[in-house]
Homo-oligomer: A and B are copies of this chain.
Amino acid sequence: MANDTCIRLQADIEQIKSCREKLKANSKSFLQLGQVLALAGNEVRLKILFLLEEENELCPCDLSDILGMSIPAVSQHLRKLKDGNIIEARKEGQTIFYSLRNEHLKVLKPFFKIINQQNLATV
């Protein structure tokens, strides 16, 4: 970053200082929330999360069928969600059922609400 030649003449020094402090005080939140949003900010994964909310649990095979995409592709999305502690796995014979974890539901719930509201709005 060499191009740092911009401290505005009219800049409010106090405001800038206060903003920096706010960022610092919430740095953990930005990191954590940012990671969750990055995961949800992919259309395929957003659909997976929505489906898990609706159906309680689903396996990679069914998700592949529902989403119309290959099983490895689905599996790799599931792994990311699992690594992010957003979903968890339950094994039953040779099929593995994925479901939402409670931990991040606080963040996700509003999304599902918005999706369902918009659906109502268009009917």
Please indicate the chain B residues that have their CB under 8 angstroms from the CB of A4 in the complex: 64, 70-71
Number of copies: 2
Contacts of A67-104 to chain B: CB distance below 8 A: 67, 69-73, 95
Chain A 11-27 interface 0/1 with B at a Cβ cutoff of 8 Å (1 = within):
11001100110110110
Given contacts A34-B41, A70-B1, A115-B33, contact A64 B19 (CB under 8 A): no
Instruction: Write the residues of chain A forming the contact surface with B, with a CB cutoff of 8 angstroms.
Output: 1-4, 6-8, 10-12, 15-16, 19-20, 22-23, 25-26, 28-34, 36-43, 46-47, 50-51, 54-55, 58-59, 61-62, 64-67, 69-73, 95, 106-107, 110-111, 114-116, 118-119, 122
